[in-house]
Structure 1
Amino acid sequence: MARIVVVYSGGMDSFTVLHKALKGGHEVFALSFNYGQKHSKELVCAKQVTDELAVKHKVLDITSISSLFTSSSLVSSEIPVPEGHYQAENMKSTVVPNRNMILLSLAIGFAIDIDATQVWYGAHSGDHVIYPDCRPEFVKVMGQAAKVSNFEPIEIIAPYLNADKTTILQEGLSMGLDYGKTWTCYKGLEKACGKCGSCVERLEAFVANNKLDPLPYLSSMKISS
């Protein structure tokens, strides 16, 4: 079994990745990032989960980089988070330019420092449409770079790269995971909005699995089966 770093946002995909790694018997170090995202409530969930599991966890404050990403609705106070499905054109505003390359680079450096051999993250096929740094081509090239950019080769693992959120949720439910301990909504409200792309995709996954999402939603906005 390996010593690994899991990029852990506190969302449902990385929550499933974290538990998959733990159930695989790996020694897990969770790494979260505060990059100025509006939905920073996910970091609260990440801390609660790692505390409960007694998993070593770091939250890296890189909020200063948000000033570089004025085109992204996830960090810019000037741009509202759009509503709708990820396939809609307006969802492109949720892209944080080069985010995963930045976060993975930092995770790779951390992995080298603690003598880990792998970095895991939760890219999946549902993100391929809108997020270039979740696509197989990116993971392949980033993995190649991670093996040659340092004296210590690091492997990039995206266990759900070719799975959709419905499949991820199905596997997590089979592990008995409680998704009430995760946060997905992009809007940063007290309750999930049920209308942003992230909420819509999450809710569709629960409907497809014939399960109710345990998260609280704004009652008038939650989509139903």
Structure 2
Amino acid sequence: MEKAVVILSGGLDSTTCMGLAQAAGYEVYPLTFDYGQRHDIELACARKVAAHYKVKSHPVVKLDFLRQIGGSALTDENIDVPHSGVATDEIPITYVPGRNLLFLSMAASYAEVIGATAIYIGVNALDYSGYPDCRPEFIEQVQKTLAVGTKAGVEGEPIRIETPLLHWTKAEIIQQGMAIDVPYELTTSCYEGKAEACGECDSCRLRLKGFAEAGYQDPIPYRNLSSS
């Protein structure tokens, strides 16, 4: 059985990737990053998701550098999380500089060590908040880098970056996940990182919109649904 590293945050998209990778026949190896994010609750969710899928190993990587440099509302307590709706014309302050580049680099290292042939990452270029490291162009360039900058790539078997959610709407993601029993009740997406999701930040709004359009009720608790 081939192995796949899954970058698992504990959120909706990455958990869907876990389900899709397993459904595709891979033995899944989740990799989670503790990078000083506000939403530490995601780490607990990631552990629950990993347990649900009965994985053999689940490293949680301490990556404090992103918290040290700040520059994002998700890592810098001096920057407020916005609640004004989903941004469409600019890169929002919730963008974490270089996050997916770092995550993919470390996932590639892990993949080489365990002999995984694929890395699953839940980037999405449709229903997302405008992050540059969620675009197809970014994934294509990292894939080229892995082909020339890793042992596996030089030997002619480059690690594939799998992005099954890339061109799906949030509703389509949820529909596909529900079809394979992805445990969305174990996940969270809120930027605030509280026990109850805020229902107001970009991530909550996108998630709630997706569930509504998919025809399902979101199974996690929310503090405020009035503006969603």
Tell me if TM exceeds 0.5. yes
Q: 1:95 deviation in Å?
A: 0.4
Cα distance in 2, alignment partners of residues 168 and 33 from structure 1: 23
What are the within-5 Å matches in structure 2 for residues 42-121 of structure 1?
Answer: 42-55=42-55, 56-68=57-69, 70-87=70-87, 92-121=92-121
Identity %: 37
Cα distance in 1, alignment partners of residues 166 and 44 from structure 2: 26
Q: TM-score, normalised by structure 1?
A: 0.93
The SS at the match of 2:87 is: coil
Gaps of 5+ in 2: 154-158
* Aligned residue identity for 2:28: V
Q: 1:127 deviation in Å?
A: 5.5
Select 1:193's aligned residue among 175, 191, 198: 198
The SS at the match of 2:126 is: helix
Cα distance in 2, alignment partners of residues 213 and 60 from structure 1: 29
The SS at the match of 1:31 is: strand
What are the within-5 Å matches in structure 2 for residues 119-158 of structure 1?
Answer: 119-126=119-126, 130-153=130-153, 154-158=159-163
The size of the alignment, in residue pairs, is: 222
Cα distance in 1, alignment partners of residues 206 and 52 from structure 2: 27
Q: Alignment RMSD, CA only?
A: 1.7
Kept in 2: contact 1:180–1:214 (CA 8 A): yes
How has the CA–CA distance of structure 1 residues 91 and 199 changed in structure 2, closer, same or farther, with 3 Å as cutoff?
A: farther
Cα distance in 2, alignment partners of residues 4 and 10 from structure 1: 17
Kept in 1: contact 2:7–2:107 (CA 8 A): yes
How has the CA–CA distance of structure 1 residues 84 and 173 changed in structure 2, closer, same or farther, with 3 Å as cutoff?
A: farther
Cα distance in 1, alignment partners of residues 15 and 128 from structure 2: 19
Cα distance in 2, alignment partners of residues 82 and 126 from structure 1: 20
How has the CA–CA distance of structure 1 residues 129 and 192 changed in structure 2, closer, same or farther, with 3 Å as cutoff?
A: closer
TM-superposition CA deviations, 1:88-130 (whole Å, max 9, x none)? 5687100001110011101101111111121110001235661
